[in-house]
């Protein structure tokens, strides 16, 4: 019997999570108090900055607390910093949009913060049950956020679909965890790793079934084919800033967990590599093929996010230090330019009545040359065009695959990334080349939006020209991971 005392609980390990939670609570309590309701944005902002600062402070330490439930290592910290930064950018890019649609409420901030906290919980542990809890803390606010525009039928539908599919996947995940627990008597990955030989010998069926169901549960979150079909509908219907958040935050969290579980916990199961091989190929190919004919930019970006998940799944098939750091690199890079792309889409949608269909784009290059240049830059980054960071992300990823002798996977991956150019080019073509019939409604920039665009543009180009800092970061992040 464990003797529970305060000694085992080191709250500094979960300080960033606490910071976000406290900020969310303050927002909930003050949000509807007259005179204080305008402070929500500021509180959320401060909470996130504090969260980032506390996370950075944890960098380099290697500690475990709460009786093995919380593990603080560089890998988790890197992701925590990433999540909080993503949320910060989403906060900045979305406020104006939410206000223009009349759905800017204090809950929006609180839900974002709580969801971010859930992601942090996911990244900060090696225990499957805690991962499940983190996943739910992340997902439940996301269901609400997807349907946040209550009057909009699309948003309703988006929330409903996300909720049903999400809880459906959660059930599979929980079942998987139950099987793993049954097979190994624990849910703590480190203990599973220690006994993996014994478990394989004695409880193979339970273990394999459990592993599969866990793969399904998290594969759903990162939109791996065939668990991807919710993505386009949910992305398209949700309010655009929320979609921006969906496309990078939960995806990164899902991958953080997948990397941990499958390249650390179940690294002993060699055949998983071939499973991920197939998943990666399916995911990137189907994502790209489906993106081809889209007529809505948000939907196109949704399919593109599926394809990008496919590229990152390559790292899971490959395994090893190079691949993991490449995956971390790719996730950061993807977050930067995908948020940038969504920032432009959000900005364009701030104009009333716009749903970011392709037909709305022509004339952009004439009316807003800088904005369309920025949009083109992000499209090039998404398609992996040098010297943007998108190219380097793919470069490291596929280089790691080649190194580990996954030649065919690389060939398919590179071919896919080249074919993907075709549809990204359509966005550029629509904004630059297609003739515009209507006069272009003006776009107003908010200072926050300019900050976001500036950061993402600098990130996309700067990290492309000087990727060594980020690569170094990614390498250090997986220090002591294996």
Q: Which of residues 7-36 bind other proteins (CB under 8 A)?
A: 25, 28-29, 31-33
If binding is defined by CB under 8 A, does position 75 make contact with other proteins? no
If binding is defined by CB under 8 A, does position 268 make contact with other proteins? no
DSSP-assigned letters across all residues of 298-326: HHHHHHHHHHHHHHHHHHHHH-HHHHHHH
Torsion of CA 335, 338, 344, 349, to 10 degrees: -100
What contacts 271, CB < 8 A, 6 or more positions away?
none
If binding is defined by CB under 8 A, does position 182 make contact with other proteins? yes
If binding is defined by CB under 8 A, does position 57 make contact with other proteins? no
Among 71, 116, 187, 305, binds other proteins (CB under 8 A): 187
If binding is defined by CB under 8 A, does position 53 make contact with other proteins? no
Cβ closer to other proteins: 27 or 448?
27
Among 140, 301, 313, 344, binds other proteins (CB under 8 A): 140
If binding is defined by CB under 8 A, does position 79 make contact with other proteins? no
Binders in 313-342 for other proteins, by CB under 8 A: none
If binding is defined by CB under 8 A, does position 168 make contact with other proteins? yes
If binding is defined by CB under 8 A, does position 353 make contact with other proteins? no
Instruction: At 141, list the tokens.
Output: 């606010």
Residue 166 CB coordination number (10 Å): 22
Binders in 406-425 for other proteins, by CB under 8 A: 410-411, 414-415, 418-419, 421-422, 425
Stretch that binds other proteins, among 70-78, 117-125, 133-141, 252-260 (CB under 8 A): 133-141
If binding is defined by CB under 8 A, does position 38 make contact with other proteins? no
Pairwise CA distance, residues 327 & 333, whole Å: 10
Peptide bond into 226 cis (omega under 30): yes
Instruction: At 340, list the tokens.
Output: 């940038």
Three-class SS of 63-77:
EEECCCCEEECHHHH
If binding is defined by CB under 8 A, does position 220 make contact with other proteins? yes
- Which sign, positive or negative, has the C-alpha torsion 95, 388, 316, 231? positive
C-beta of 228: minimal distance to other proteins in Å? 9
- Smallest CA-to-CA distance from 302 within 350, 230, 364 is with 230
Among 59, 66, 385, 445, binds other proteins (CB under 8 A): 385
Cβ closer to other proteins: 53 or 355?
355
């Amino acid at each position: 019997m464990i003797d529970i005392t305060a000694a085992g609980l080191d709250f500094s390990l979960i300080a960033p999570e606490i910071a976000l939670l406290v900020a969310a609570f303050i927002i909930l309590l003050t949000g509807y108090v007259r005179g204080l309701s305008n402070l929500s944005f500021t509180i959320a902002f401060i909470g996130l900055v504090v969260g980032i600062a506390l996370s950075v402070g944890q960098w380099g330490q290697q500690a475990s607390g709460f009786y093995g439930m919380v593990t603080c290592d560089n890998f988790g910290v890197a992701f925590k910093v990433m999540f909080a930064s993503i949320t910060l950018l989403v906060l900045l890019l979305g406020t104006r949009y939410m206000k223009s649609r009349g759905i800017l409420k204090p809950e929006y901030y609180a839900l974002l913060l709580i969801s971010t906290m859930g992601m942090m919980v996911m990244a900060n542990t090696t225990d499957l049950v805690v991962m499940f809890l983190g996943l739910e803390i992340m997902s439940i606010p996301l269901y609400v956020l997807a349907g946040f525009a209550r009057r909009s039928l699309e948003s309703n539908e988006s929330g409903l679909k996300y909720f049903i599919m999400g809880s459906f996947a959660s059930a599979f995940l929980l079942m998987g965890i139950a099987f793993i627990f049954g097979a190994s008597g624990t849910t703590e990955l480190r203990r599973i790793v220690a006994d993996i030989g014994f478990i394989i010998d004695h409880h193979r069926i339970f273990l394999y079934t459990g592993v599969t169901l866990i793969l399904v549960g998290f594969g759903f979150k990162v939109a791996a084919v065939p668990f991807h079909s919710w993505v386009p509908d949910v992305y398209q219907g949700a309010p655009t800033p929320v979609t921006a958040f969906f496309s990078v935050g939960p995806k990164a969290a899902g991958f953080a967990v997948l990397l941990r579980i499958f390249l650390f916990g179940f690294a002993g199961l060699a055949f998983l590599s071939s499973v991920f091989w197939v998943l990666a190929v399916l995911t990137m190919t189907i994502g790209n093929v489906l993106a081809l004919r889209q007529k809505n930019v948000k939907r196109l970006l949704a399919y593109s996010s599926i394809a990008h998940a496919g590229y990152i799944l390559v790292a899971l098939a490959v395994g090893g230090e190079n691949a993991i750091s490449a995956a971390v690199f790719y996730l950061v890079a993807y977050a930067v330019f995908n948020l940038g792309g969504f920032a432009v889409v959000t900005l364009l949608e701030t104009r009333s009545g716009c749903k970011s269909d392709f037909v709305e784009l022509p004339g952009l290059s004439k009316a807003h040359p800088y904005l369309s240049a920025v949009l083109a830059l992000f499209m090039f980054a998404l398609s992996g065009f040098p010297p943007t960071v998108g190219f380097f992300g793919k470069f490291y990823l596929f280089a790691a695959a080649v190194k580990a002798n996954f030649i065919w996977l690389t060939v398919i991956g590179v071919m896919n990334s080249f074919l993907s150019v075709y549809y990204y080019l359509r966005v550029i073509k629509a904004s630059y080349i297609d003739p515009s019939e209507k006069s272009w409604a003006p776009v107003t920039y908010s200072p926050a939006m300019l900050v976001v665009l500036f950061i993402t543009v600098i990130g996309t180009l700067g990290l492309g020209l000087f990727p060594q800092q980020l690569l170094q970061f990614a390498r250090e992040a997986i220090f002591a991971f294996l």
